[in-house]
Chains A and B, each alone.
Chain A
Amino acid sequence: MLELRLVQGSLLKKVVDAIRDLVNDASFDCSATGFSLQAMDSSHVALVALLLRSEGFDHYRCDRNISMGMNLNNMAKMLRCAGNDDIITFKGDDGSDTVSFMFESPTQDKISDFEMKLMDIDSERLGIPEAKYQAIVRMPSTEFARICKDLGSIGDTVVISVTKEGVKFSTRGDIGSANIVCRQNTDVDKPEQATTVEMNDPVSLTFALRYMNSFTKATPLSNQVTISLSSELPVVVEYKIAEMGYVRFYLAPKIEE
C-alpha cells in the first residue's frame, strides 16, 4: 500500500513537466526514504535523477519498496486536470497495474479521481559515484535558461569554461559565434539573484545544447541552478526542490575527434 499526499500539488506537475522532455517512460521507486526516479534518455547521453523525500509530503505511507513504470506524457495529461492550488493524493497497491490520483480543491468543494495504467519498464540503474568537482557554478535558473535558449539559436553545442574570471558559455554556428560571460555576483538584493563560482581548477567542457535546453524545463522548480563540472565526469545540472529534494540532470560531454 502506497499513499502520498502533497498539499502543494502543483509541485508534482512541475516535476513531471521538468523531465518529460527528456524521458518518455520511467520507473518511479517508492521507499521509506521517498519518491525517486532515475532514467536515461533514449540515446544514453543524459540522465535524470529525482528525489522527493518522504518528510516533504504531508502524508507519506509506503509499506514496502515498490517500483511503478509510468508514461510521463500520460502522467502530465492526468496532472493537467488538477487545479494549481489542488491537493494531490497519489495511491498505489502492490501487484496492481494502475495507480490513482485524487485532486482536492483547497475549499474541498471539488474532488476528482483519476486512474492511470502502469507500464512494464526494463529500467537500468546506473551507479553514480560521489565526486569532487573542479568547478561549481550557482546562478539564477532563469538566467541559465535564457543563455541556453539564446545560444541554441546560434549553435548546436556550448562550451562551458570556468576560470577565476567567472563562467563563460560559448557557441559557434553557421551564422557566427557567441560568448556569454557571467561573473561572480553576490552583491544582489535577493540571494536567488546571486551568481557564485567555486573553482578548484579551471575547467572547459563541451555539451549538446539540445539537452541543456531540455534540462531548463525544470526552471519553475527552483530560483537557482547548480552546475557542477569536472573534466572526467558528466556535468550535473541541479534544481533543488525546496524542503523536498532535487531534480538532477547528468549530461556526458562531447569530445573533439
Chain B
Amino acid sequence: LYIQIILWTYFPNT
C-alpha cells in the first residue's frame, strides 16, 4: 500500500 506525500514535506512555505 502506498501513501501519497504532500509537497510541504519537501518545499517550505515562504
Bound together, the chains give a CA A120 to CA B1 distance in angstroms of 39
Closest A residue to B6 using CB positions: A44
Scoring B residues 1 to 14 as 1 if CB is less than 8 Å from chain A, else 0, what string do you get? 11111111111111
Asked if A256 and B1 sit within 8 Å, CB to CB, the answer is: yes
- Please give the distance in Å from B8's CB to the nearest CB on chain A: 6
Return A163 CB to nearest CB of chain B, in Å.
21
Whole-angstrom CA separation of A227 from B13 in the bound complex:
24
Interfacial chain A residues near B7, Cβ < 8 Å: 40, 44-47, 126, 234, 250, 252
A33 to B8, CA, bound (A): 26
Interface of A is mostly: loop
Which residues of A sit under 8 angstroms from B6, Cβ to Cβ? 43-45, 252
Asked whether any CB of chain B lies closer than 8 Å to the CB of A213, the reply is no
Interface contact A256-B10, CB-CB below 8 Å: no
Per-position 1/0 for A229-252, Cβ under 8 A of B: 000111000000000000000101
CA–CA, A252 to B10, complex, Å?
8
Minimum CB distance partner of B9 in chain A: A252
Q: Does A208 have its Cβ within 8 Å of any Cβ on chain B?
A: yes
Instruction: Using CB atoms and an 8 Å cutoff, list the residues of chain B in contact with chain A.
Output: 1-14
Instruction: Point out residues on A near B: beta carbons under 8 Å.
Output: 40, 43-47, 124-129, 157, 206, 208, 232-234, 250, 252-257
